[in-house]
Amino acid sequence: LGPVQTNATTHNPNDLSMTLGATYSREIAASLARAWENVLDWEHLPHLHDSSFSSLTLEDAGDWGWRALTVGNPATKASKALIELVVDRKKNRYVSRTLRGGIAGMEIWTQFTKVDERRTQVDVEFHIPGMDQASALRLGEYMTGLYKTLWDEDEQMMVERQNALEQRLQTSSKKTINLGPAEELQKRLPLCLEIDGKPVKIIELNGQLTAFRPTCPHMLAPLNEVALDEKGCITCPWHGYKFDVTSGLSTDGHDLALDAAFDFSTNTEGNTLISVAKDATNLQQSQNSR
């Protein structure tokens, strides 16, 4: 397999009559590294961008980019499209082309320009085939609206991931925290605090105090705001991986686990203590090594 498109250097290789429907430019608060990671990350489309995509079936992916069958949201027949995204890393640009379905032949060119270590300029062009100027402009307006939403969602993910990567390097020796009297604690649940320099979320589940790191072991999405389902599981908003918060284990077959290695105890004054379970540091490091 591999890319069907020639590459990301040729505009309009099929020589269609193209109209530039719109351009869209913005600066994002993320490094080039985060931006490229996001472009190659096809898996986040139906999860992070669930208001725009309802599903995605991958055909192929590699260093060159990816090709996938996508279904929009709402999931209509017309919203089905085979999309291929091909990167030109050297020139910091990529093209995403609709190969079949949707607006077949449409090319979306994106150019990245590094502003500094934490900021990237994004310039997008929407080239639409076989359309008169007025219709192309209307479609262009729709596409820029869609892209604003997509880039808002992507930017937030990139910023949060960057923060999580930096936070991972922090360490602190505070491995036990006094949570105070049990009845006081109960009123404060669910509670998110820091142990060992990293967040931990404390909840009550089936009458039992439960604690886990609200950080996804896949790509470090923050999970503290994610609601538990009736089985005590959470679904990560970035790529949809599911975890049981009590055991930390994946419930959808991924070889990853949440760090849930905490012990609760009661001291002589009747205060509840939470501590990092022994070996937890090693466990967490191996989980996050991807």
Q: Which residues of the shown chain bind ligand FES in the complex (CB under 6 A)? A: 216, 218-219, 221, 236, 238-239, 241
Contact in structure between 140 and 18 (CB atoms under 8 Å): no
Report the phi/psi class of residue 197: left, alpha or beta, with left for phi > 0 and alpha for psi in -120 to 50.
left
Q: 5 vs 215, which CB is nearer to ligand FES? A: 215
Q: Does 196 bind Fe ion (CB under 5 A)?
A: no
Contact window for Fe ion (CB under 5 A) among 21-29, 95-103, 152-160, 206-214: 152-160
Shortest separation between residue 252's beta carbon and ligand FES, angstroms:
10
Q: 198 vs 218, which CB is nearer to Fe ion? A: 218
Shortest separation between residue 254's beta carbon and ligand FES, angstroms:
8
Instruction: Output Rg (C-alpha) for the chain, integer angstroms.
Output: 23
Q: Does 154 bind Fe ion (CB under 5 A)?
A: yes
Q: Which residue is nearest to Fe ion, using beta carbons?
A: 154
Closest CA to 141 of 128, 130, 152: 128
- Give CA–CA dist 259/19, Å, rounded: 51
The entry of Fe ion, ligand FES, none that residue 219 binds, CB within 5 to 8 Å by partner kind: ligand FES
* 65-72 and 242-244 beta bridge pairing: unpaired
- The CA-based angle 46-42-87, given to 5 degrees, is 145
Q: 184 vs 252, which CB is nearer to ligand FES? A: 252
Q: 92 vs 162, which CB is nearer to ligand FES? A: 162
Contact in structure between 66 and 160 (CB atoms under 8 Å): no
For helices 133-169 and 32-40, what crossing angle results, to 10°? 110
Shortest separation between residue 54's beta carbon and Fe ion, angstroms:
15
Burial (CB count within 10 angstroms: exposed 0-12, middle 13-18, buried 19+), residue 159: middle
Shortest separation between residue 253's beta carbon and ligand FES, angstroms:
13
- Give CA–CA dist 122/255, Å, rounded: 34
Contact window for Fe ion (CB under 5 A) among 60-68, 94-102, 117-125, 151-159: 151-159
Shortest separation between residue 120's beta carbon and ligand FES, angstroms:
21
Q: 107 vs 154, which CB is nearer to Fe ion? A: 154
Site residues, Fe ion (CB under 5 A): 154
